[in-house]
Structure 1
Amino acid sequence: MIIPEKFNAFRIHQLEDKQIHSGFEQITLDDLTDGEVVIKVAYSDINYKDALAATGKGRILRTFPLVGGIDLSGIVVSSIDGRFKTGDKVLVCGAQLSELYDGGYTEYARVKADSVVPLPKGLSLRDAMALGTAGYTAALAIQRMEDNGQIPERGPILVTGATGGVGSFAINMLSNIGYEVVAFTGKTEQADYLTSLGASKLINRHNIEMGSKPLESMQWGGAIDNLGGETLAWLIRTTSIWGNIASIGLAGGIKFDSTVMPFILRGVSLLGINSVEMPLSVRQQAWKRLATDLKPTKLHFIAPTTITFSELPSAFDAYIDGNVTGRTVVEINENL
């Protein structure tokens, strides 16, 4: 494949007054951060983190300028690493793209070989970005919980932030492999959406009295938590014996009050989920499962929207304002 001298990319700059400026630019391969594998990008996606980076509403990038987009899928154009050859279909998620390295909002990407995962059989390039970091993170959470002994017989799994990308995928995946799933959300108008994914019950977070005792009544076999803060403290107090809580997000705050009693008296485990700092073997195993037993049956329902590359800049504000349900795939190059 021939790489054009210049190609289109959505790049993020920090100006002298610390303000963020982002937009489309014509760049060359030499403008990209170093890497062993060059990929013609087929698809990317939009995560809340992408919207924060592009609009400057959050400090995501650690160096400037960088191409935005934390995820990508596409076809290898060239590689100096023997694990990949021209024509291979691949994906990159959770690898510090648009943080330390140039990301997926570009027609051509150059990435570290250790961050590249061969596209598993059973997934298309679009499927991979419909899943993206959100689906990958949900799979990591389930994998870690099961590695620590989680089984359906221990009781229902509560999923907080249920209408978000991670929450939506977690509900569908867990219900597909035999767990009873309860959705914890403030968006009760999305009840039909959540039950269609597999939630057996909805809890309105605005109506919950969380209590303050070191131990509250046991209600959950485990939980996947996207909120942190007070909600995470409540989950720790209400999870049953030997239950696992996968901590993923911090939308509800970075601090929480707890005691050691749930951990000592009930054997509750709090599992931190980091989708970035993962060994390649763990990354590959999660994607293998995303193409097999954890592949969502409602993938196109969770990620119904595909926008063109040119439409990307106008899509970020809805994420910042919290007006998005489900995921959006970005088509970078047609016909790949």
Structure 2
Amino acid sequence: MTFKALLVTRNEDGKTSAAVTDLEDNQLPDANVKVAVEYSTVNYKDGLCVGPGGGLVRNYPHVPGIDFAGTVEGSEDEWYKPGDKVVLTGWRVGEAWWGGYSQKASVKGEWLVPLPDGLTTRDAMAIGTAGFTAMLAVMALEDHGLKPENGPVLVTGAAGGVGSVATAILAKLGYEVVGVTGRPETTDYIRGLGADRVIARDEINETVKRPLEAETWAGCVDAVGGAMLARVLGQMKYGSSVAAVGLAGGADLPATVIPFLLRGVNLLGIDSVMKPYDARVRAWNRLATDLPLDKLHEMIQPATLSDLPDLGKAILKGQVKGRVVVDVNA
């Protein structure tokens, strides 16, 4: 039997192209769990892998899609049996291993987590790697003492995938949330997720000579990096933390160590790719309870496999709002 997948190929000149293609089961990677994929989503890494690869793809032809949710079809892993609902994010699936832009996937059982009660597979991919990362960021801030009474929490890139979910989670948990966006047309969207205020990127994106400014933020989820992160570090309250989740504004950090030395600010790195199993389960269970599903559903932009080449280009240009949910069987 055949199934459909988005297959990326590379010619002798090194140019890549992506197209929906019929594949056979024996073309799948050799692993101990086979999953009938129901939904996937679109992340920045996916945009790279659908296109030239960005150095992430090792071998061609390749099936991208760094996360997926579906039903176990066959298993040699004692933890899973046919019919189980599962979620996969990370572990370089969709990069070094064939991923979720396919009606079938073959992966290692240790990479999967059970779908939490209260979430559908569609919900799980509305969350996806971006939402999972957002929850890890919130948990890290909480583990370092963040509480609603501490003051406002800043979310940079608030209209993006990570920022959208972080805003909705923090608002539901009772935090005063301030979103930052470079797209004025997304202001109402961010407010609809629960943000108390929305400020323009230009207000906070410039590098200043002073290493410290007024203590303003009790916490921050930063998806931008670069000059914006450097500026935010100088505005953090004493003993507060920034959870760094992305580099949409660049990988350089033109900052000083002064905020760390004089205000005890913590810069917390958030990795979702290699996160151990227990922490994954904890985060997914928190998402099932702490992310308002009505807000989640408002973020969704539906898509199919054939939409992915254009969406891959769009997300690299910062033109995707909220969460794309890809129905691989549509």
| In the alignment, structure 1 residue 101 sits paired with structure 2 residue 93 | no
2:80 is paired with a residue of what secondary structure?
coil
Q: 1:287 Cα deviation (Å)?
A: 0.4
AA matched with 1:238: Q
Which aligned runs of 4 or more in structure 1 are off by greater than 4 angstroms? Answer: none
User: C-alpha separation between the residues in 1 aligned to 2:107 and 2:87?
Assistant: 11
1:298 is paired with a residue of what secondary structure?
helix
AA matched with 1:258: A
Deviates more, 1:37-46 or 1:260-269: 260-269
Match of 1:277 in 2: 274
**Does the 8 Å contact 2:38/2:68 carry over to 1?**
yes
Deviates more, 1:89-98 or 1:287-296: 287-296
1:276-328 deviation line (CA, Å, top 9, x unaligned):
0100111111101111123454011111x222333333433332333322221
| In the alignment, structure 1 residue 41 sits paired with structure 2 residue 42 | no
Q: 1:61 Cα deviation (Å)?
A: 1.4
**Does the 8 Å contact 1:39/1:110 carry over to 2?**
yes
**Does the 8 Å contact 1:289/1:295 carry over to 2?**
no
| In the alignment, structure 1 residue 253 sits paired with structure 2 residue 234 | no
User: C-alpha separation between the residues in 2 aligned to 1:54 and 1:206?
Assistant: 31
AA matched with 2:320: V
1:68-99 deviation line (CA, Å, top 9, x unaligned):
11111110001100000000011111221111
Give the one of 254, 261, 264 matched to 1:264.
261
**Does the 8 Å contact 2:33/2:72 carry over to 1?**
yes
TM-score by length of 1: 0.93
The alpha-carbon distance between structure 1 residues 177 and 297, as it changes in their structure 2 partners (threshold 3 A), is farther
| In the alignment, structure 1 residue 324 sits paired with structure 2 residue 320 | yes
Which residues in structure 2 correspond to 1:1-336 (within 5 Å)?
4=1, 6-56=2-52, 58-208=54-204, 210-303=207-300, 305-333=301-329
User: C-alpha separation between the residues in 1 aligned to 2:216 and 2:121?
Assistant: 39
**Does the 8 Å contact 2:56/2:96 carry over to 1?**
no
1:144 is paired with a residue of what secondary structure?
helix
User: C-alpha separation between the residues in 2 aligned to 1:88 and 1:57?
Assistant: 32
Q: 1:154 Cα deviation (Å)?
A: 1.7
Q: 1:210 Cα deviation (Å)?
A: 4.6
**Does the 8 Å contact 2:212/2:258 carry over to 1?**
yes
1:239-296 deviation line (CA, Å, top 9, x unaligned):
0011110001111111112222211221111000111010011111110111112345
User: C-alpha separation between the residues in 2 aligned to 1:311 and 1:250?
Assistant: 25
Q: 1:52 Cα deviation (Å)?
A: 2.0
User: C-alpha separation between the residues in 1 aligned to 2:213 and 2:226?
Assistant: 17
Q: 1:67 Cα deviation (Å)?
A: 0.8
Task: List gaps (5 residues or longer) in structure 2.
Answer: none
AA matched with 2:247: L
Q: 1:131 Cα deviation (Å)?
A: 0.7
Q: 1:173 Cα deviation (Å)?
A: 0.4
1:137-165 deviation line (CA, Å, top 9, x unaligned):
10010011111211122211111011101
1:184 is paired with a residue of what secondary structure?
strand
User: C-alpha separation between the residues in 2 aligned to 1:40 and 1:333?
Assistant: 10
1:50-76 deviation line (CA, Å, top 9, x unaligned):
122112273331333221111111100
**Does the 8 Å contact 1:154/1:243 carry over to 2?**
no
TM-score by length of 2: 0.95
2:289 is paired with a residue of what secondary structure?
coil
2:125 is paired with a residue of what secondary structure?
helix
